[in-house]
Amino acid sequence: MNDGCVPLMEFEQDPAQILDAMMPLYLNSQVLKALQESLASELAARMGAMSNATDNAVELTKELSIAYNRERQAKITGEILEIVSGAEALKPID
């Protein structure tokens, strides 16, 4: 370079040899990156599925709790009606 500029890098070997040495490393890093992204994607999908399952379980618990409370209240109401009916039956007829 005769224009007075200092080169940013000076290679001691032929650039083709350096490229040949670096290509396997680059390829390995790209394969590793793809595997890591695949695993991260799988884990994100699993987390989403588990979140949905948790939400569904919470909703089902609420629905079952409401159904249980309604049934319990109906049973209590039935027992009260039986008691009131029995008391009415014991009253003397005028």
Q: How confident is the model at residue 2, as a pLDDT?
A: 58
Q: Are 11 and 18 in contact (CB under 8 A)?
A: yes
pTM to 2 decimals?
0.58
Q: How confident is the model at residue 38, as a pLDDT?
A: 98
Q: Are 28 and 21 in contact (CB under 8 A)?
A: no
Radius of gyration of the chain (CA): 39
Q: How confident is the model at residue 90, as a pLDDT?
A: 81
Tens of pLDDT along the chain (94 residues)? 457 788 787 778 888 898 999 999 999 999 999 999 999 999 999 999 999 999 999 999 999 999 999 999 999 999 999 999 988 888 887 6
Rounded CA gap, 48 and 79, in Å?
47
